[in-house]
Amino acid sequence: MNDPTQRFDLRPLGIALVSAIALLAAGSLLATRAEVEYRRQAEQQAQVQADILAASVSAALAFDDRPTIREYVDALRANPDIGAAAVYDTAGRPLVTYARKGAPPPPGHLPHLRDHATDGMMQVTSPVAERDTRMGAVYVRTLPEPFSRILGRHSGLGLLLIMSFVLLGVTSRAAAQLQRRARQLTDINARLQVEMVERAKAEEALRQSQKMESLGQLTGGVAHDFNNLLTVIMGGLETIGRHLTKLPANAENARLHRARDMAMHGAERAATLTARLLAFSRRQPLQPQAIDANKLVNGLSELLQRTLGETVTLQIVLGAGLWRTHADPGQLENALLNLGVNARDAMDGGGKLTIETANTALDPAYVDQLPESIAAGQYVLIAVTDTGAGMDSDTIERAFEPFFTTKDVGKGTGLGLSQVYGFVRQSGGIVRIYSELGQGTTVKIYLPRFFGDDEEAVAPRITDPAMMLGDETVLLVEDHDELRAYSGGILRELGYKVHEAADGAQALELLARTPGVVLLFTDVVLPGGMNGRQLADRAREMRPELKVLFTTGYTRNAIVHNGMLDPGVQLITKPFSFDDLAVKLRRVLDDT
């Protein structure tokens, strides 16, 4: 649109100038021609006048009849253009002269005229002759033409010229204005087009993010409900398992044991899926900590190589002096494994998988054109590149959508990249896919650089069953009846004294009545207008020393801000196992 040739066009101005000059030249030429023609006519008229006089006075001159000559000469007075006239004899002496008042007298001797026009006057002579007999000559001179008459004579042309100039001026002005308008219009049009393109891009980005957001809410909701159910199922299976071990070992019991194990395995796989769904919906509870991506990638290399198989070469290129980042290491491992699995599936006949790490900076210009909102600044880049089949642009666009898969039915869940996307976004980063069909794919994960101090290393896992028992009084708050029964069962089995409440009001009432409660174990999402966070705050007002353990599959609302634990908040995510809860409880209770 911004054609450089459309800068200010001087052509109309040039045309106007040339037209003006041509007009002036034509006008001058016409005026000169008219003037010459007029002079010629005036001279002719004067000549005719002189000829008439000459013819008239021939006899009078021949016979020296001066009164008659005088009469003829005086007749010229009637012509106001005649300034002077004279009749000369054959010797060139003036016989009769006439000069209008104010005009110079005729010459004292018959002049030989070469130029008939002098000082605007026209002077002519005419011989007086009759049948070859020369009698003398006459002289006639016109008056100089008054300026007003010259002006009058040329006024028409002058007026035309002036009008033409005015017209020319008006039209070139209009043309210039038109040109300016056209240019403005072009500019505006160009701007409009740019704006339209930008708007279309913004709309597309908004649509995409809205789609991801609504998909996230949908999957998050489903996953939350599933988590509750899975917790109950897994709890039931665990209880069955513990009781099975107490039964005598025979074939029937062994069959029961295998069945329980299979059911447990299925439930665990279901739990993994719901975890991924939650990851995509950015509602998974993360345990972020300062991590060194180089260390993490190194630690993962063996597992990755096993996952990739023998046909795929794994190459790891670690950036020197890599910054730390702040993320959930387990989820990051998950993300890299997911990418590894995708890469393996894309490289059917083998290939090479490269994992690179590097420090990088995202500048504002780059950040602005991303559909996701992200701050410009320093990021740790983890790039996973394969030499596989690659993706077309439509596939890239949909790659992060949950349940979108290009794999055969049953081979993929369509949740791998969703987990990567949800986890990276929840960790304050972005993930980009660069791919060409047949050229392979690069997935780049950008995680924000972490400037804070290292956190304490996670306490080692308690493995001694005896250390998992306790006798403290626990207030269990859970609106889901089955889940409350399951959790209560575990707590009692571990030796704890348990008081159960279905909502916040009931829990506070119980807390007021029961003096020995040392731990509040509450779901984050509660009915009755008070959520787990608010309940904990109120309970702490009553018992400042009260310890709190939250549980949720759905951490968005109260205790978790942007999916990250507030410092000091203890959380166990659903679905949790007997061991998970036992260990977590002891850690919370023993933490001073």
Length of the chain measured in residues: 592
Query: Please, which residue, 92 or 489, has the CB nearer to other proteins?
Result: 92
CA-nearest of 486, 506, 499 to 581 is: 486
Q: Does 406 bind other proteins (CB under 8 A)?
A: no
Q: How far is the CB of 126 from other proteins (least distance, A)?
A: 15
Binding mask 5-44 for other proteins (x = CB under 8 A): ----------------------------------------
Looking at the DSSP assignment, which residues form a beta bridge with residue 501?
477
Q: How far is the CB of 135 from other proteins (least distance, A)?
A: 7
Query: Please, which residue, 68 or 406, has the CB nearer to other proteins?
Result: 68
Q: What does the alpha-carbon distance between residue 468 and residue 491 come to, in Å, rounded to a whole number? A: 11
* Residue 242 burial (C-beta neighbours within 10 Å; 0-12, 13-18, 19+): exposed
DSSP 406: -
Q: What does the alpha-carbon distance between residue 340 and residue 420 come to, in Å, rounded to a whole number? A: 12
Query: Please, which residue, 12 or 127, has the CB nearer to other proteins?
Result: 127
Query: Please, which residue, 126 or 281, has the CB nearer to other proteins?
Result: 126
Phi, psi (rounded to 5 degrees) for 61 = -70, -40
> Are 415 and 216 contacting, i.e. CB atoms less than 8 angstroms apart?
no
Count Cβ neighbours within 10 Å for each residue of 382-392 and write b for 16 or more, e otherwise.
Answer: bbbbbbbbbbe
Q: How far is the CB of 60 from other proteins (least distance, A)?
A: 6
For the sheet with 430-436, list strands across it: 312-317, 351-362, 377-386, 440-448, 430-436
Q: What does the alpha-carbon distance between residue 100 and residue 513 come to, in Å, rounded to a whole number? A: 145
Among 3, 119, 132, 456, binds other proteins (CB under 8 A): 132
Q: Look-up: residue for tokens 């030499």?
A: 387
Phi, psi (rounded to 5 degrees) for 310 = -80, -20
Q: How far is the CB of 143 from other proteins (least distance, A)?
A: 29
Q: How far is the CB of 106 from other proteins (least distance, A)?
A: 20
Q: Does 135 bind other proteins (CB under 8 A)?
A: yes
Query: Please, which residue, 51 or 397, has the CB nearer to other proteins?
Result: 51
Contact region with other proteins (CB under 8 A), list: 2-10, 45-53, 131-139, 526-534? 131-139
**Which residues within the stretch 54-93 sit at the binding site for other proteins (CB under 8 A)?**
56, 58-60, 62-65, 68, 90-91
Query: Please, which residue, 128 or 297, has the CB nearer to other proteins?
Result: 128
Q: Does 346 bind other proteins (CB under 8 A)?
A: no
Q: Does 133 bind other proteins (CB under 8 A)?
A: yes
Q: What does the alpha-carbon distance between residue 409 and residue 451 come to, in Å, rounded to a whole number? A: 44
> Omega of the bond prior to 329 within 30 degrees of 0, cis?
no
Q: Does 130 bind other proteins (CB under 8 A)?
A: yes
Q: What does the alpha-carbon distance between residue 80 and residue 535 come to, in Å, rounded to a whole number? A: 125
Q: How far is the CB of 49 from other proteins (least distance, A)?
A: 18
Count Cβ neighbours within 10 Å for each residue of 263-286 and write b for 16 or more, e otherwise.
Answer: bbeebeebbebbbbbbbbbbbbbb
Contact region with other proteins (CB under 8 A), list: 126-134, 296-304, 359-367, 564-572? 126-134
Q: How far is the CB of 134 from other proteins (least distance, A)?
A: 9
Query: Please, which residue, 58 or 228, has the CB nearer to other proteins?
Result: 58
Q: Does 110 bind other proteins (CB under 8 A)?
A: no
Q: Does 147 bind other proteins (CB under 8 A)?
A: no
Q: How far is the CB of 67 from other proteins (least distance, A)?
A: 10
> Are 101 and 94 contacting, i.e. CB atoms less than 8 angstroms apart?
no
Q: How far is the CB of 131 from other proteins (least distance, A)?
A: 4
Q: What does the alpha-carbon distance between residue 98 and residue 84 come to, in Å, rounded to a whole number? A: 5
Looking at the DSSP assignment, which residues form a beta bridge with residue 391?
none
In the complex, the residues that contact other proteins under the rule CB under 8 A are 56, 58-60, 62-65, 68, 90-91, 130-133, 135
